[in-house]
Structures are given as structure tokens and as C-alpha cells.
Amino acid sequence: MNTKLNRSPAQGTEQGTTLVEVMVTAVLVAVFFASIFELNAMCLRFIDASKESLAALQSVQDRSETLRNLSFSDLTNTAVVQNLMATAANPAPFSQKATEVVKISKYPTPNGVTQFTRSSGGTVVNDSVATDLGTQLVKVDIAVSWTMTLGGRARTEQTSSIVSNGTKK
């Protein structure tokens, strides 16, 4: 028996994708992965910026604790504070590259300000000396400045404390 199969031309051709369809798909996949990688990179930059801010805050707090733990006579002694400022507030790499400014003034009515600036290179400069720091209360202002990795903006973290002349317990 001789059977002829009648097929229409559409049934006998192979189905596949054209080069244009493959290229469009490849471009869409590439754009998708590029956007995912850029989003990941942006998140990493924000994490680095957050780490810098946290390190600055820690540096300010460490320097503040160090100064508050000094005796009142040492805190009001220019040589002692300048010697203390020669080392960074903590051993973290951020503290080595940030600029620290410590201002000490009589409280509540200042009679000049004793100011020390520790540059990122570790050099300490006594910018000014107060006429009188008094014998009872001083205000200690501490600021850490740096140029932020994300965006290159100048940033500062700071705190102030009032320290009393009294007995350490």
C-alpha cells in the first residue's frame, strides 16, 4: 500500500529562533545583570560610608573618654593634652587619617580657648591657649573631620562635655 502523507508547508519546517531574537534576549540579559551589579556596588559604597561615620563617632567617643578620665590639673595642662593628642584616639585605620580638633574652655563664661589640632599625618598643633581655664569647670569640645569616600564630601562628628574639678572615685 502506497500512502502519501500530505503535509502543509508549515508542518514540515523546523521551529527555531532568529538571530535578531537571540541578540535582543542577550542584550536584555546583559542589561539586567549590569543593573544588578551596579546596585550591588552602590550598596557597598553606602556600607563603606556608614562604616566611616560609625568609625568617626567611635573616635570622638574614645577621645572624649580619654580626656574625661584625666585629672582636672592634667586636663588644663597644655603639655599633657598635646602629648595625649600625639596618638590617634584609637588604633583603627580611620582614626589615623581623620583630623581631630579638641577645644578646652572655661565654663560657663569662656576666657579664651585652648585648641589642639591633630592632622591626618599625626602632627599636633596647639592653635591657641586660653587666658584662664579656671579651677572648677571646663567645657571640652571634640570634633573629628574627614573627607567621605562616597561623594568626596567633608564630614564632621563632634561632642561636648562639661568636666568638673573633683575627686575621682
| pLDDT tens string 136-161 | 999 999 999 999 877 889 999 999 99
Q: What SS3 class is residue 7?
A: coil
Q: So what's the pLDDT on residue 6? A: 57
Give the integer Cα–Cα distance in Å for 163 and 158.
Answer: 16
Q: So what's the pLDDT on residue 149? A: 79
Phi, psi of 143 (to 5 degrees): -135, 140
Q: What is the mean pLDDT of residues 22-43?
A: 95
Looking only at the bridges linking them, the beta strands covering 154-164 and 137-147 are: antiparallel
Q: So what's the pLDDT on residue 167? A: 64
Q: What SS3 class is residue 107?
A: coil
Q: Are the CB atoms for 157 and 169 separated by under 8 Å? A: no
Q: Are the CB atoms for 138 and 105 separated by under 8 Å? A: yes
Q: Are the CB atoms for 161 and 63 separated by under 8 Å? A: no
> Shortest CA distance to 48 belongs to which of 150, 155, 158?
150
| pLDDT tens string 57-105 | 999 999 999 999 999 999 999 999 999 999 999 999 998 889 999 999 9
Any idea what DSSP says for residue 121?
Answer: T
For the chain, give the mean pLDDT: 89
DSSP 14-81: PP---HHHHHHHHHHHHHHHHHHHHHHHHHHHHHHHHHHHHHHHHHHHHHHHHHHTS-HHHHT-HHHH
Give the integer Cα–Cα distance in Å for 77 and 88.
Answer: 19
Residue 5 has pLDDT above 60, yes or no: no
